[in-house]
Amino acid sequence: MTTTEDLSIISLILHASVLVQLIMLLLVVLSVVSWFWIFRKWFQIRAATRNTQQFEREFWSGGDLNALYQSAAAARHEIGGMERIFEAGYREFTKLRAKSHDNNATIDGSRRAMRAMHQREMDDLEAHLAFLATVGSVSPYIGLLGTVWGIMNAFRGLSNVGAATLAQVAPGIAEALVATAIGLFAAIPAVVAYNRYTHDIDRIGIRFESFMEEFSNILQRHLR
C-alpha cells in the first residue's frame, strides 16, 4: 500500500496482514458480544430496580402479609428479586412456626431462606459482568498485539529500500494502528458499563439486605 492509495479505514483493514485482520475480527466479535450484554444487563437492572420500588411501596403500605405472600407465590416466576426474597422468607416462617415453638429457630430459618434467595438473585444480576470486565481489560492489549505485528511488517518491508522515508512507512503504520483503535472501541464501552452496572447492583443488594433485616424484625414482633 502506498501513500497514493486510499487511506480509509476499510482500505487499511483490507490491506493489513492476515494475522492483524484476524486480531481485528476477534476484537469486533468481542465488541458485538459485549454490546449485547451491555443492553441485556441494562434492561435487567432497570427491571430489577422498578420491581423493587413497586414491591417496597406495596409492602410498606400496611397490607396483609398473607395476602402479599399469596400474590407472590401465585406469580413466582414473574415477580422481582425482593418479592422473591419475601416469599421465600415468609414461606419458611409459616412452615417452621407450625412445626416448632422455638421462636429463635423460626426466625433463623426464615433468615437463612431469605439469605439463600438473596444470593441467587445477586448471582443472576452479576452474571456476565465478568465478561465485560475481561473485554475492557484485555481488548487494548489484543489491539496492541496487532499494532506491534503490523509495525514489524511495515519496517521489515523497508529492508530492501535504500533510503526509507516517512511516506513509505506511514501506510503500514496506519494499518497497524487500526487494530489498537478497534481494541479501544471494544474496551471503553465495556469498562464504562461494568463500572456503572456494578454500582447499580451494589445499591440493589443493599436494599435487599436492608429489607431482610427489617422483615426479620417484623416477623419477631409477629411471634411475640
Q: Report the 3 state secondary structure along 32-67.
A: HHHHHHHHHHHHHHHHHHHHHHHHHHHHCCCCCHHH
**Percentage of the residues of the chain whose pLDDT score is greater than 90:** 51
**Predicted confidence (pLDDT) at residue 175 exceeds the cutoff of 80:** no
**Predicted confidence (pLDDT) at residue 140 exceeds the cutoff of 90:** yes
The pLDDT confidence band at residue 99, using thresholds 50, 70 and 90, is: confident
Burial of 167 (C-beta count, 10 Å sphere; 0-12/13-18/19+): exposed
Check residue 61 and give its pLDDT.
Answer: 86
What integer is the mean pLDDT of 185-200?
95
| Of residues 98 and 172, more confidently modeled | 98
Check residue 30 and give its pLDDT.
Answer: 95
Q: Rounded CA gap, 95 and 163, in Å?
A: 87
